[in-house]
Amino acid sequence: MALLEIENFSFSYPRSEQPALREINLKVEKGEFIGITGPTGAGKSTLTYCLNGIIPHFLGGSYQGRISLGGTSIFDLSPAQISRLVGSVFQDPEAQLISPEVEQEVAFGPENLGLPPAEIGKRIGKALELAGIPGLRNRPTANLSGGEKQRVAIAAALAMLPEILVLDEPTSELDPLGTDEIFKVLDILNKEHGMTIIMVEQKTEQLAAYASRILVFNEGRIALEGEPRQVFVRRRELEEIGVRIPQVARLAGLLGRYEGCALPLTVEEGHLYLESILRG
Ligand SMILES: Nc1ncnc2c1ncn2[C@@H]1O[C@H](COP(=O)(O)OP(=O)(O)OP(=O)(O)O)[C@@H](O)[C@H]1O
Ligand SMILES: [Mg+2]
């Protein structure tokens, strides 16, 4: 059984004429790193709200189809139950931290579960270590960098021991350094700890390098899906939808000479690719 299964799922916001999600079908196995991209209004955030309980509990609306996590229909779970299964990280690092200190922030979820203090202490230590920020434990949250704040948000989610981590454009307000920090943490969580990750992200360069599967959303549907190389080779369709292709892949596409060898996606692969062309 897949960890997450979405079957013929459609969703409309209250009072809206067009569905925001249309007949989504998706199976996610444990340990996958799913990258979701697509133009504005495509329904990417709406999907994340359906996974973390914001829909239906806080935004309402109507839906058809089914979303199940570990075999349980997610819409039958309370917000508290969902918060143990799905960890969420949002776009704005400022808006999601609610405590004055890092330790309190990470303790917040486990405290709400009513866990004993020793267990909470253990979870805080482990979560901070996994997020790569053990040294920030006693820092005030206010003066952290954007990348550090987002890693605190990741640690706070991990302290609940979720089955799956859902992130909605967590790097959009970060500089390149902060962005790299987040991707490196996610990569280690995924590869070394088997964490299942669903990440909405516009930075296709990094998605191509780290995600195991890419979903391109357009007008509420999954328009393209596959391993990064299978998706980013479809240059014309992506340009029509309005998705930025990793620059190296775009260059190779324009040169039109990657038959026989795989489409390069990363800078390293681009080097090898150019060398092979220049040698003829
Ligand atoms: N709370 C809401 N109430 C009503 N309609 C909404 C609400 N949130 C989003 N929508 C609509 O649902 C559709 C999908 O929006 P969504 O925010 O999921 O897109 P997105 O792919 O995340 O876009 P972006 O890249 O801009 O974040 C859009 O047409 C949007 O206007
Ligand atoms: Mg969005």
Q: How many CA atoms lie within 13 A of 185 on its CB side?
A: 28
Instruction: Please state whether the predicted TM-score (pTM) of the whole model is above 0.85.
Output: yes
Atom of ligand 1 nearest to the CA of 59: 1
Per DSSP, what are the bridge partners of residue 69?
4, 72
Q: What is the C-alpha separation between 190 and 16, in angstroms, rounded?
A: 37
Q: Hunting for tokens 């013929």 — which residue is that?
A: 8
List of long-range contacts for 226-235, beta carbons under 8 Å, 24+ apart: 228/35, 228/265, 229/262, 229/263, 229/265, 232/204, 232/208, 232/263, 232/265, 233/263
Query: Strand, coil or helix: what is 58?
Result: coil
Note down the domain range covering 120. 4-228
Instruction: Identify whether the C-beta of residue 224 lies closer than 8 Å to the C-beta of residue 54.
Output: no
Output the CA 100–ligand 1 centroid distance in Å.
31
DSSP 226-264: ESHHHHHT-HHHHHHHT-PPPHHHHHHHHHT--TTSPPP
62 lies in a domain?
A: yes
Q: Which ligand is nearest to the CA of 59?
A: 1
In a domain, 130, yes or no: yes
> What is the residue with the minimal CA distance to atom 26 of ligand 1?
40
Q: Is residue 132 part of a domain?
A: yes
| Ligand in nearest proximity to the CA of 44 | 1
Give just the sign of the alpha carbon dihedral 241, 90, 170, 8.
negative
261 found inside a domain: no
Splitting the chain (280 residues) into consecutive groups of 10 residues, what average pLDDT does each group show?
Answer: 96 95 98 98 98 92 95 93 95 91 97 95 97 96 94 97 97 93 96 97 95 98 96 93 91 74 83 83
| Ligand 1 mean position, distance from CA 9 (Å) | 16
Asked if residue 73 lies in contact with residue 120, where contact means CB atoms within 8 angstroms, the answer is no
Question: Which atom number of ligand 1 is nearest to the Cα of residue 41?
Answer: 19
H or E segment to which residue 61 belongs: none
* CA 80 to ligand 2 center in whole angstroms: 23
User: Is residue 246 included in any domain, yes or no?
Assistant: no
42 Cα nearest atom in ligand 1: 21
CB of 84 closer than 8 Å to CB of 110:
no
Question: How many residues make up the chain in this entry?
Answer: 280
Q: Is residue 65 a contact partner of residue 8, using CB atoms and an 8 Å limit?
A: yes
Does residue 16 sit within a domain? yes
Q: Residue of the nearest CA to atom 2 in ligand 1? A: 13
Q: Which residues line ligand 1 (CB under 6 A)?
A: 13, 16, 20, 38, 40-46, 59
Centre of ligand 1 from the C-alpha of residue 115, in Å: 36
User: Which residue's CA is the closest to the ligand 1 atom numbered 7?
Assistant: 13
Q: Contact 67/5 with Cβ under 8 angstroms?
A: yes
Q: What is the pLDDT of residue 260?
A: 52
Residue nearest to atom 28 of ligand 1 (CA): 41
Q: What CATH number is given to the structural domain containing 132?
A: 3.40.50.300
Measure the CA–CA gap between 30 and 195, rounded to whole angstroms.
7
Question: How much is the pLDDT for 262?
Answer: 81
- Separation of CA 2 and ligand 1 centre (Å): 27
Task: Give me the pLDDT at residue 268, please.
Answer: 87
Residue 42, pLDDT score: 98
**Helices and strands (H and E) in the chain: how many:** 13, 10
Is 255 part of a structural domain of the chain? Answer: no
Look at residue 263 and tell me if it is in a domain: no
134 burial level (CB within 10 Å; 0-12, 13-18, 19+): middle
CB 93 within 8 A of CB 146: yes
**What is the Å distance from ligand 1's center to 41 Cα?**
5
Domain tally for the chain?
1
Amino acid making up residue 94:
E
Question: Tens digits of per-residue pLDDT, 113-149?
Answer: 999 999 999 999 999 999 999 999 999 999 999 999 9
